Amino acid sequence: MGSTERRAREREDVRRRILDAARELFVAEGYEAVTMRKVAERIEYTPPAIYFHFKDKLELVQALVQEDFATLAGHFARLDEVADPWERLARMGRDYVKFATQNPNHYRLMFMTKLPPEVEKMDDPERGIPAKDAYAMVRHLSAEAMAAGCLKPEYQDPDLVAQVLWSGMHGIASLTITMCDSHWIDMRPTPVLTDAMIDALLAGMGTPATIARNLLDKTKTPKRKPKPRS
Amino acid sequence: MGSTERRAREREDVRRRILDAARELFVAEGYEAVTMRKVAERIEYTPPAIYFHFKDKLELVQALVQEDFATLAGHFARLDEVADPWERLARMGRDYVKFATQNPNHYRLMFMTKLPPEVEKMDDPERGIPAKDAYAMVRHLSAEAMAAGCLKPEYQDPDLVAQVLWSGMHGIASLTITMCDSHWIDMRPTPVLTDAMIDALLAGMGTPATIARNLLDKTKTPKRKPKPRS
């Protein structure tokens, strides 16, 4: 490895450590209370070393959010292999909760922390708003499921459907993260809760044909590309 | 008003200001980062004035949590007027979300902030664990609805039912609080989302008779004490 490559890798390592330290601090102390100096102290660097990578706290948190949403998007990568529109939504929900419980600090920063409005003002065409892209995806899958006739006819608003599904998954993810150390509650295992929520919402919002098809699919392995019935 | 009464009232006022300032600080900066000195500074008192009311930070946060759960319990006060077991659960869900959106800082402290485990070690018979009491209530109502035959026979675990319902309501409450300033998402009004979630879960988990009865009830006013049909 040449010295240019090595330097690039070292730079990347430092950037990585800054981002990880900043995430922990933002989650533990809130955005306002964190300073660039605190981030530097956390990883035993001088403040100028941090400023070499990020011009200010806003740029730092924007990079972090951008990166964490990219990680989430990676978890959704194989959704297009699932042929059934409802099953695709269900899979997205399960992937989402799995991401949250595997990366609780990422999740807390992305969905459980109040960030300043400037963080979301990243709507240049190069980058977009990462959270908006993630929401656009669940909205798109909801609209597809509606167009395919999976949902009862009273469901005509893809935003409402997407927000109900998102709330259900977010509720499980965030309660799991917040309650994991509570000794007084016997929380059911997260995957059990997730499946129960998805099944209840499907049975509540789906047409009888969709419900029957998805129940049938459960008895088969593998689940991918089930032959559509209608 | 005598001077003893006045002093008692003044003491109560100070206590109130300490609690409100502490709640804001815990929510904004996290439990760890807050000191008794910071709370004192916030309301322009000296630290000894705070220690006169609370012996340490733990006692302060315990009093706060105790009080905020009592406020939540007050929101549930009229549930026993509702005769239908499912409608009682639905009412509890709506009251819960309303409490959260009307008292976002209370809600963030109670359900969205990681507090040290000692806060929950309040299990002396005098006080109990406030969060446990609130959970016991939704679990009890879930068990009642199951015993009354409101839910499909596959639902045999009151904890699972209670946790699915809680997750649904918590998801809406916490997303509403976190996303309320986000300009990029067109969130549906919270009561619309809440009703959509409750309706979907009822239709998914309820027996046909329960669903029919609750649909019928929606067309009637007042909703209280509907005549049970089965």
A206 forms beta bridges with: A151
Say if CB A46 and CB A40 are below 8 A apart: yes
Scanning A30-111, the segments in alpha helix (DSSP H) are 36-42, 47-53, 57-75, 85-102, 104-111
The dotted CATH code for B62-218 is: 1.10.357.10
Chain B residues inside the 8 Å CB shell of A116: none
Chain B residues inside the 8 Å CB shell of A119: none
In B, residues 138-197, which contact A (CB 8 Å cutoff)?
Answer: 157, 159-160, 163-164, 166-172, 174-175, 178, 181-188, 192-193, 196-197
Q: Which of A159, A181, A184 to mutate to test the interface with B (most CBs of B within 10 A)?
A: A184
Say if CB B112 and CB B174 are below 8 A apart: yes
ipTM, two decimals:
0.88
Mean pLDDT score of chain A, rounded to an integer?
Answer: 88
Residues 6 or more apart whose CB falls under 8 angstroms from that of A33 comprise B28, B29, B30, B33
Given CB atoms, is B64 within the 8 Å cutoff of chain A? no
Residue A220 confidence (pLDDT)? 58
Return d(Cα A79, Cα A87) in angstroms, integer. Answer: 9
Chosen CATH of A1-55 out of 3.40.640.10, 2.40.50.140, 1.10.1040.10, 1.10.10.60: 1.10.10.60
Tens-digit pLDDT string for chain A (230 aa): 688 999 999 999 999 999 999 999 998 888 888 999 999 999 999 999 899 999 999 999 999 999 999 899 888 878 889 999 999 999 999 999 999 999 999 999 999 988 887 887 665 555 667 788 889 999 999 999 999 999 999 999 999 999 999 999 999 999 999 888 787 889 999 999 999 999 999 999 999 988 888 876 666 544 454 445 54
Q: Report pTM.
A: 0.89
What are the residue ranges in chain B where pLDDT is below 50? Answer: 221-223, 225-227, 230
Two structure tokens written together for B52 = 């006169």
Nearest to A33 among B29, B186, B204 (CB): B29
Q: How many CB pairs under 8 A join A and B?
A: 147
Of B199, B188, B97, nearest to A151 by C-alpha is B199
Chain-centre distance for alpha carbon B93: 10
Nearest to A204 among B170, B185, B203 (CB): B203
Domain ranges of chain A: 1-55, 66-218
Could you name the CATH architecture of A66-218? Orthogonal Bundle (1.10)
Shortest distance between the Cα of B28 and any Cα of chain A, in A, equals 6
Given CB atoms, is A50 within the 8 Å cutoff of chain B? no
Residue B128 confidence (pLDDT)? 66
